[in-house]
Amino acid sequence: MKIVAAKGGQAGWDSFVLASEGAGAYHRFGWKTVFVKSFGHPCHYLAAVDDNGVWHGILPLVHMRSRIFGNFLVSLPFVNYGGLICENEAAAALLLDEAEKIRHSCGATHVELRHVARRLEILATKQHKVTMILDLTGSADTLWKAFDPKLRNQIRKAQKSGLEFRRGHLELIDGFYEVFARNMRDLGTPVYSKQFFRNVLEAFPDTTAIIAVLHEGKIIAAGIASWFKGRIEVPWASSIKDYKALCPNHMLYWEAIRFAIERGFREFDFGRSTPNEGTYNFKKQWGALPVPLNWQYLMDAHGHMPELNPGNPKYRAAIRVWQRLPVSVTKMLGPRIVRNIP
């Protein structure tokens, strides 16, 4: 068995991803194009292949380097999942060995592998986040009846407030981005460029959609939905806090769930959360259950796991400053910063 760099072999790569039970949407080869076009980061898409040309494992890696945030490799940045997908331990060992060689050759401090199930006991692991998964077996009516009365009332309130739900694609990107950029500013978080989202939608035109809630013709809540192999998720969603009383988020997610059930998806992934914080509790009320995320690290024996998150005290002052900036300024500066934050 040997390691090969999958450069133009999208068909072989995606065939392996489609057939592998543990592979997810972000393992698809099209994400390499998104990362390169959106951020310019070098990518190493590694495959373990035997002498007969049969694939036994893959590991996509993105190299990120900046003076402020450091030099490291991630599988995969900007999204919730990535890491090794292997059929056997031999393939896993070869891929990890190759990742270590790449780490040393580019002077990176670590390799971050974003696994759902814990893969390797020998690696340092963080379990600080969960993803929230809602089982979609059954009808929309059955799910509705299982909701807490408070949740049902909030969905009804949105429906009675004259809000309109719309599902589309690139024609809704401007409205989505205005809401997303404003919400990220309010959170004190640098925003991605609009081009990043455009690249995602163009790379996966048949498995993505923009979902939006409108008030008097204006988008006040919106998200990007993505689906693959029976699971749908909304990795990026925001709303304008001025309209919170109208419950637009409740309409957004209820209509997304109904769409998922109609399309026959088995699971609705609400995305990454910190247990017991606000977004976690919002997702929990829908009946979603937490699934631990295991971020594992290849690094030197004396190395430390990274803390590139808003909870890190050294970023609090920067967050407060960012929250006071005009949205137009954050749209200009945000993409230059966030490209180096995985």
Per residue in 242-271, is it b (16+ CB within 10 Å) or e — as a string?
ebeebbbbbbbbbbbbebbbeeebebbbbb
pLDDT at 21: 87
Same domain, 235 and 262: yes
Same-domain status, 207 and 249: yes
Last-in-domain residue among 64, 82, 114: 114
Q: Are residues 189 and 272 in the same domain?
A: yes
Q: Note down the domain range covering 35.
A: 2-114
- Output the pLDDT for position 151: 96
User: Does 162 lie in the same domain as 255?
Assistant: yes
Asked, for residue 172, whether it belongs to a domain, the answer is yes
Q: What is the pLDDT of residue 311?
A: 58
Contact present, 334 and 183 (Cβ < 8 Å): no
Q: Is residue 320 assigned to a domain?
A: no
Task: Answer whether residue 160 is part of any domain.
Answer: yes
Question: pTM (2 decimals)?
Answer: 0.93
Specify the residue for token string 């076009």: 37
Q: Are residues 180 and 230 in the same domain?
A: yes
- Looking at residue 26, its pLDDT comes to 97
**Mean pLDDT per 10-residue segment, the chain (342 residues):** 80 91 94 96 95 93 93 96 93 96 96 88 88 94 95 96 96 98 93 98 98 97 97 96 96 97 96 87 94 92 70 70 87 91 90
pLDDT (0 to 100) of residue 305: 72
What was the pLDDT predicted at 9? Answer: 62
- Rounded CA-CA distance 34/202 in Å is 9
Are 28 and 141 in a shared domain? Answer: no
- 275 & 151 share domain: yes
Same-domain status, 110 and 141: no
Whether residue 41 lies inside any domain: the answer is yes
**Domain limit, last residue, from 53, 79, 114:** 114
Same structural domain, 41 and 182: no
Residues 18 and 164 in one domain: no
Q: 326 lies in a domain?
A: no
User: What is the structure's pLDDT at 315?
Assistant: 64
Q: Does 334 fall in a domain?
A: no
In sequence order, the 6+-apart residues with CB closer than 8 A to the CB of 110 are: 72, 73, 103, 297, 298, 299, 303, 305, 306
199 with 154, same domain: the answer is: yes
Report if residue 298 sits inside a domain: no
Specify the CATH number for the domain of residue 18.
3.40.630.30
- Asked, for residue 316, whether it belongs to a domain, the answer is no
Same domain, 88 and 146: no
Q: Report pLDDT for 209.
A: 98
Q: How many domains does the chain have?
A: 2
Please tell me the predicted confidence (pLDDT) of residue 4: 87
